[in-house]
Amino acid sequence: MKMRIAVFCSLLAVLTAGLSVGQQKSPVTAIKAGRLIDPETGTAAANQVILVEGERITGVGPNLAIPSGATVIDLSQLTVLPGLVDAHTHMAITYKEQPENNYYYLTYITDSTPLRAIQAASNGMQLLNSGFTVVRDVGNNALYADAALRQAIEQGWLPGPTVIPSGPMIGSTGGQFWPTPEMYKYHNIMFPEYIDANSPDEIVRAVRENMLFGARTIKLCIDCKPWGYSVDDIKLAIREAAMGGCKVEGHVQTADGAQRAIDAGVYIIAHNSALTPEHHRQMAEKGIFLAGTDTPFTPYRGSEAAFKRTAANLRDAWEKKVLLTFSTDFDYWNERMKDPKTGEWLTRGELTINFLETWKAAGIPQADILRAMTINGYKAADIISQRGPIKPGFFADIIAVPGNPLSDIDALRNVQFVMKNGMVFKKDGVMTPEKFFHPGPVKTPNGRWSR
């Protein structure tokens, strides 16, 4: 009995100690915002205080008392807003003019999964430096480099955006490849760039496997081949994905494919180039998000004719009131990606923000561009209940810029401050990532299933 009491007492001591640790208050940070934008309403409030405790926002208002001992960050000369979202990109593949002549079959052969994962980590930091705190990374990630990066960032090994990984794109025979019989049949060249799924059973298996290996969204190639998915196939994938809490994005490159994706009710359609005004009308009616991947015409990419079409398509989607997101489909690199003024290489973040050119050419109002880059992005990433709004209870993913993006959207090119999960990543225009690096997991290692 004595023994039992002793055990009970020490157990109690451990529990109490645990409790007091749990009750310990996280450090408080108070951000003084000269101007605070609410992208939902497209309005700004002057001289606001944002209180952040640990990872989350605990208070926002004009006259909040700053608790004694709080760290004060003075952004009174800047405009503060939620972090930005690239709703469709590829951080773990970069095809190049040399050596692979922009042919990504060859990138897949020359760049290993570990190499691509490390590149994705670097791209993630460059994107965070430009204010992108959320990235939907949708396919062409080798063997789940995207899911690994998400997990590494969540565990606290390195800084990066919140990654919404899809794992390999699921498609019918061939995916986006046109392989030889020997490479297809004897060398399984499709995997891991694509998962072939050609029947209801295979679609269910592919969706489940992606979720098992860390996908937080499911990417379907609706029409990469003439034998693409039927409405029933897509609906099956949507149902199965929902079991694991995932929404489905449909890659669409034909008008027929677009109609099947709309009829089945996918959550997001990727690529605007094959969509007609009638598709836009139906998407708006059904509340389907568009990740248009609207490439600008630059010295390093595109043509003027393609750019005009892209801008006109984006304009039509906006006129029809489609739920627009900011998306790039970035997956390439070449020797011309330099700042013409300084001759310096452009970062992945600068290359991404440069997609603003298309939005400006489409004549979309600044407030609507900002909504696409924030609130709609958070909704499309399906994390709006946790991240995005600068309101109590939400994760503190906050950026600041000089000027006012509501009157000059190019202000977003000059991000001076970045906070991710309540930690400062960039201040006074300089990266300060020390607090993000840990040699072991400081969060639950079971990051796959956290939101």
The site for Zn ion (CB under 5 A) is made up of 329
Closest contact distance (angstroms) between CB of 412 and Zn ion is: 22
Closest contact distance (angstroms) between CB of 354 and Zn ion is: 17
Q: By C-beta, is 146 or 329 nearer to Zn ion?
A: 329
Q: By C-beta, is 103 or 437 nearer to Zn ion?
A: 103
Question: Taking a C-beta distance cutoff of 8 angstroms, is the pair 322, 380 a contact?
Answer: no
Q: By C-beta, is 50 or 169 nearer to Zn ion?
A: 169
Closest contact distance (angstroms) between CB of 46 and Zn ion is: 40
Place of tokens 């509340």: 287
Closest contact distance (angstroms) between CB of 176 and Zn ion is: 10
DSSP class of residue 410 equals G
Collapsing DSSP states into helix, strand and coil, what is residue 140?
A: coil
425 to 156, 279, 418: CA distances (angstroms): 13, 41, 5
Q: Which helix (H) or strand (E) holds 13?
A: helix 2-23
Q: By C-beta, is 254 or 432 nearer to Zn ion?
A: 254
Closest contact distance (angstroms) between CB of 51 and Zn ion is: 38
Closest contact distance (angstroms) between CB of 86 and Zn ion is: 11
H helices of 166-221, where?
A: 181-185, 200-212
Distance of CA 146 to the CA centre of its chain: 11
Q: By C-beta, is 57 or 195 nearer to Zn ion?
A: 195
Question: Taking a C-beta distance cutoff of 8 angstroms, is the pair 268, 87 a contact?
Answer: yes
Question: Taking a C-beta distance cutoff of 8 angstroms, is the pair 223, 252 a contact?
Answer: yes
Q: By C-beta, is 240 or 329 nearer to Zn ion?
A: 329
Long-range contacts at 206-210 (CB < 8 A, ≥ 24 apart): 206/170, 207/170, 207/237, 207/240, 207/241, 207/244, 207/246, 208/240, 208/244, 209/167, 210/166, 210/167, 210/168, 210/170
Cβ neighbours of residue 248 under 8 Å, at least 6 residues apart?
217, 218, 219, 220, 234, 237, 238, 241, 266, 267, 268
Residue nearest Zn ion, CB atom distance? 329
Closest contact distance (angstroms) between CB of 327 and Zn ion is: 8
Cβ neighbours of residue 302 under 8 Å, at least 6 residues apart?
295, 296
Q: By C-beta, is 358 or 366 nearer to Zn ion?
A: 358
